[in-house]
Structure 1
Amino acid sequence: MKYIYSFLFFIPFVFVFGKDKAKLSYDGIRKNYENYAENDISAFAFINPYIQKAKKEKKYPELFQAYRDAVFYSKSNSRKITYADSCLDAAYKSGSDDRVATAYVLKGSVYYAKMRSYKAALDEYLMAYKYSKNTGDLYLKYKIAYHLGVVKNYLGYYDEALELFKPSIAFFESESKNKNLHQFQIFNNRKGYLNSLHQIIICYRNKGNYEKADSLINIGLRQTFNNRDFVQERSYFLKCKGLLEYHNNNYQAAINYLQQSLSLMKNDFAWAAVDFLYIGKSHLALGNEHLAITNFKKIDSIFEKSNFILPEIRENYELLINYYKDKNDAKNQLFYTTQLLKADSLISQDFAYLSPKVHREYDTTTLLDEKGKLEKANSWGIFFIILLLLSTVFLAVILYKKYQKEKIILQKYALLQKKLQNQDYILENRFSNDNIQDRKTVHVAETLKKILLEKLKKFEENKDFNQKGLTIQKLAAQLETNSIYLSQVIKEYRGMTFNKYVTNLRIRNITYLLYEKRIYLNYTIESLAKECGIASRQNFSDLFYEINGIRPTDFIRKRKKQLENKADNESLKDVPGLLPDN
């Protein structure tokens, strides 16, 4: 029987369609396209009346279902996205958070499975999680967790991805054996289990745990053997087996497994490109250079058509460039150099985490040198190459500087946070009995000095430094001394002038308030400066940086993010696997 259920698009089966469309039930209409294949637009002969009926009767749950079906049977990706948006609108109008979450998963699945737009997919999956937090539908929860794990996996967060896949695969495996479920639910859980298994294998392979990956591959191959319902999943396990054989230098075995994978794989250009790469590399290792280049060129055809590339595939262009360099074919060398630059640009955009870690035999410096040689043999395309090279260098510099700046800010914030968690932060290096006894001076009598220091200690502890219009004369009067004695004691025991002493206390105090009281994080820098009695925004920022080692804007940004993450983590604690254990 043809299943139109899928792990990416959960489209329930339908029932009966009669002659009079106006009098039919919704289930009756849907029965007519039950066995249609995905992307078969002839299904719209029934879906369109379904949509019109639901709109007319304002039956939003049914309209939601109709648009889900429309996504599945639409042929073009743009139409799928359009119908996914309509599905989301109907879900909101139905008032069901479960439907809203499902609609977001649906849209994210189009971005991921059909368009390989991981950033867009992640946005949709995160929204799906938001609306599924209170659901009792565990299948929906673990389905969302799976999709979040897939995006994390592709972006290179392998440990985080594993924390999502492990509970998901346990749930799907258990439910796939639940005899109380409908056969289609069992099928969906089985599909979820096999897809999760594939993703876990990818994680272990990328982490270098080939022994664990091999044991899981063998499980996947056994469970998909001679099973027509899971042909696509079997192609993934064959692909993984081929990659493992290549790693073990069993090149002919690798070719055999990868070719089997390609023969079963349907509509997955990303993994097909991986198959072609390792078939080509295996032929290269066996000395079959012509066959290797043929496979490498197939990858370029996929890249041209899809405008997508995995970081792992980048090596394909380095191999092609080397091949044509050895052949003294400057024209093709230039062409594949241009393709490599284009690939790097896309990788930088979609794989910000993985891109810096990808081994670059042809880094920017090498490309610049090669470009100079190639320009002599090929005058065309010069400006295009220069533009791409400059863009690549500029982007790399900007990203590197931003990364370094954020790293330093984070380190300084962590250091300051540690200080703030100490209750003595505001009164750090305050006046104490110890330094009163140790210090000596001939200018102020010891008895008067001790009394004055005790008063200054209380002045700090009571935070009297926040008084408006505080001057040294005013404070001297409050402490029953004179400004000369007061100035001398502050300078001797704190090593600073009165104005700097008071400013230091006020900056530390406002820093503590920013850390402890969320309301202060919404103040403008000007307002914070005013709170400290500092005239200008710039002066406040400079003083804050001088005392704390970090700008107030950066401190506020990091503290807000920390509080948001803390709130998110608290809300995720009740969902197994969505947060890693500490």
Structure 2
Amino acid sequence: MRIKYFILLFILSNILNAQSNTAGKKPLEKNTYQELENAFYNSKPDDIDGKRSIAKYYVKKAKSEKNTTQIAEGYVMLHLDETLPNALKYLDSLQVITKNSQENYYPARTFLLRGNLYYRSNNLQAALNNYLLGLKYAKEKKNKRQIAMADISIAYMNNYIGKHAETAKTLRYYLYNGDYMNEDERNNMRLNLADTYIEINKMDSAYILIQEGLQISKRNKNVYSYHQNLGLLGYYNLQSKKYQKAIDNLLECKKYFFESGNGSKRNENYTLLYLGKSYAGLQEKDKAIAYFATVDSLVQKTNYVYPELREMYSYLIDHYRQIKDKEKQLYYVERFFKVDPILHSQFRYISRELPRRYDTPKLQEEKESIAAELQNRKTLFYIVLSLLLVSHLLFINFYFKYKRTEKKYKKIAQDLIHSVNENKFKKDQEIKTGFLPNPFSVEDEHAEDKTSKTISEDIAHAILKELETFESKEQFLTRGITLGALAKKIKTNSRYLSEIINTYKGKNFATYLNDLRIDYAIRRLATDRKFRSYKIPFIAEELGYNNEQAFTLAFKKRTGTPLSIYLKEIEEMKVN
């Protein structure tokens, strides 16, 4: 369809399809600039005089106030409903007055507006030149919105020369990523993307977008947008060979576009063209010929030409050849020869200039972007590789350090086990003392040579005797035992008991208690298979500890090796 019903003309002056006109509610001189703009853009399309009077007053007001920004806006409004020569003069004035503008949308805005103007006038060569200039300046000012507008307008040029897939790619990108586009622009993009999908035979995707557009226009009560979507649905049905459905859609559009006066040249031409093609599909040749003849009269009246005319004139020529109407056959041959050179010239220019001036620079940008991305990837690769190498070295270092430590732990555990085995068959009295003659005992072996300076020998001897009983009867396994509780049990006071332990045992009470428990654990775990089959929390509780963590920490502090290593070595040495 090559964007025939609803070419998206990106007028940067924020043209809105409003539902009501607020102009006339108060005199123009009572309005602000914003109110004047709203009145202008909300006016009915056919109210040319009303819109022109608003635009002229707008410029007059801006000039009297020497407001350059508003003068520029006034020129934008003035050019919209003028003939091509007059519209170009207003845009020339816009270019002059914004020459030194600091706004980031100039001068790109002027070129894009001029491109739209030429496009509406069917001068595709001039339109392309201006779109490319607009794109250039938009990129210089880094205006994302204007870059999008230029890209989309140029995409329609690609569509014109048959690059439908590229057009679809651009429209799809901006439809789903252009969050800076307004609702009307998104609706138009949806229409044009659906149209392009039909061209590349993605009919299901096209149908979904058309139905979405119909629902949105109904919800917003936008009659014009509804008929745009309905016209596209007619084209969809035509391409799907559902000719009667297409006719039903297009006849409703014909009634709206022609009778309401809201139709553009494109609306009118393509509505009639596809009605003719639909009737041709039903083999109703008389109706098809009638519609095609009407299209030809519109082309002569408006000088609006488009590629599908070739197929239409071929149909007319073949028809009159078959019925041997030489006069009509010659007429349409001559009409074909008038239209075809124009189409050929436009196609040749667009197909030559687009790749050279748009596609090639764009590919160069993509090349530079890809090269930069690859370089970044290469840099990132080396950084990651370096980090992996460092981490690998650290891991190796940690591994060997761990192995050395593990070897040390295993040696300590083995020594403990050997110590237990060596003392296993000693005298009953030695066993009852609860002390293991191992290298980890920090008790003072010459404690008997020490005497307390504050406690008499008799009292010290009595306390030591009680401690011997405390150890031999394994009372240290009692949970929650304290210095005070033990002192009370052996009928002395805490100070005396603490001093005796420090003097004769070489440690404080907490260490003394922990050492007794851990030495007991060392011995029993090595000799009692059933005991070591219990879970660690249960063993800890049996030894008088409140929790597993307290036990394992105390074990490693006392022995120098983790409990897990000790248990593992016991199993490996097959200790019974």
How far off is 1:269 after superposition?
2.1
Q: How does 1:441-520 map to 2 (within 5 A)?
A: none
Q: Residue 95 in 1 paired to residue 102 in 2?
A: yes
> What letter corresponds to residue 110 of structure 1 in structure 2?
L
Separation in structure 2 between the aligned mates of residue 353 and residue 51 of structure 1, nearest angstrom: 38
Q: Is the 8 A contact 2:28 2:36 kept in 1?
A: no
1:251 paired residue number:
243
2:205 paired residue number:
212
Match of 1:63 among 66, 71, 79: 71
After superposition, give the CA deviation of every residue in 1:273-314 in whole Å (9 maximum; x if it has no partner): 233222222223334222111111111012101222221231
Q: Residue 300 in 1 paired to residue 300 in 2?
A: no
Q: Residue 115 in 1 paired to residue 111 in 2?
A: no
Separation in structure 1 between the aligned mates of residue 128 and residue 9 of structure 2, nearest angstrom: 19
Gaps of 5+ in 2: 1-7, 17-21, 372-576
Q: How does 1:323-334 map to 2 (within 5 A)?
A: 323-334=319-330
Provide closer, same or farther for how the CA distance between residues 215 and 29 of structure 1 changes in structure 2, counting only shifts above 3 A: closer
How far off is 1:354 after superposition?
9.1
Provide closer, same or farther for how the CA distance between residues 59 and 203 of structure 1 changes in structure 2, counting only shifts above 3 A: same
2:44 paired residue number:
37
Match of 1:278 among 269, 274, 293: 274
Q: How does 1:356-435 map to 2 (within 5 A)?
A: none
Separation in structure 1 between the aligned mates of residue 370 and residue 182 of structure 2, nearest angstrom: 24
2:13 paired residue number:
10
Greater relative contact order structure (CA < 8 Å, 6+ sep): 2
How far off is 1:258 after superposition?
1.6
2:344 paired residue number:
348
How far off is 1:37 after superposition?
3.1
1:81 paired residue number:
88
Separation in structure 2 between the aligned mates of residue 80 and residue 572 of structure 1, nearest angstrom: 39
Q: Is the 8 A contact 1:105 1:125 kept in 2?
A: yes
TM superposition score normalised by structure 1? 0.53
Provide closer, same or farther for how the CA distance between residues 324 and 12 of structure 1 changes in structure 2, counting only shifts above 3 A: closer
Secondary structure of 1:133's counterpart equals helix
1:268 paired residue number:
264
Q: Is the 8 A contact 1:153 1:161 kept in 2?
A: yes
Secondary structure of 1:156's counterpart equals coil
> What letter corresponds to residue 346 of structure 1 in structure 2?
I
1:322 paired residue number:
318
Gaps of 5+ in 1: 176-187, 356-402, 411-557, 575-582
2:56 paired residue number:
48
Provide closer, same or farther for how the CA distance between residues 66 and 20 of structure 1 changes in structure 2, counting only shifts above 3 A: closer
> What letter corresponds to residue 330 of structure 1 in structure 2?
K
Provide closer, same or farther for how the CA distance between residues 335 and 254 of structure 1 changes in structure 2, counting only shifts above 3 A: same
Provide closer, same or farther for how the CA distance between residues 353 and 243 of structure 1 changes in structure 2, counting only shifts above 3 A: farther
After superposition, give the CA deviation of every residue in 1:164-201 in whole Å (9 maximum; x if it has no partner): 212211145x56xxxxxxxxxxxx71111111112212
Secondary structure of 1:304's counterpart equals helix
1:509 paired residue number:
none
Separation in structure 2 between the aligned mates of residue 571 and residue 60 of structure 1, nearest angstrom: 39
Q: Is the 8 A contact 2:9 2:153 kept in 1?
A: no
How far off is 1:92 after superposition?
1.9
How far off is 1:7 after superposition?
4.8
How far off is 1:241 after superposition?
1.9
Match of 1:203 among 196, 199, 204: 196
Provide closer, same or farther for how the CA distance between residues 216 and 294 of structure 1 changes in structure 2, counting only shifts above 3 A: same
1:337 paired residue number:
333
Provide closer, same or farther for how the CA distance between residues 330 and 205 of structure 1 changes in structure 2, counting only shifts above 3 A: same
TM superposition score normalised by structure 2? 0.54
Q: Is the 8 A contact 2:10 2:113 kept in 1?
A: no
Q: Is the 8 A contact 1:18 1:29 kept in 2?
A: no
Q: Is the 8 A contact 1:17 1:29 kept in 2?
A: no
After superposition, give the CA deviation of every residue in 1:102-121 in whole Å (9 maximum; x if it has no partner): 22222222222x31222222
How far off is 1:46 after superposition?
4.2
How far off is 1:47 after superposition?
3.1
> What letter corresponds to residue 254 of structure 2 in structure 1?
L
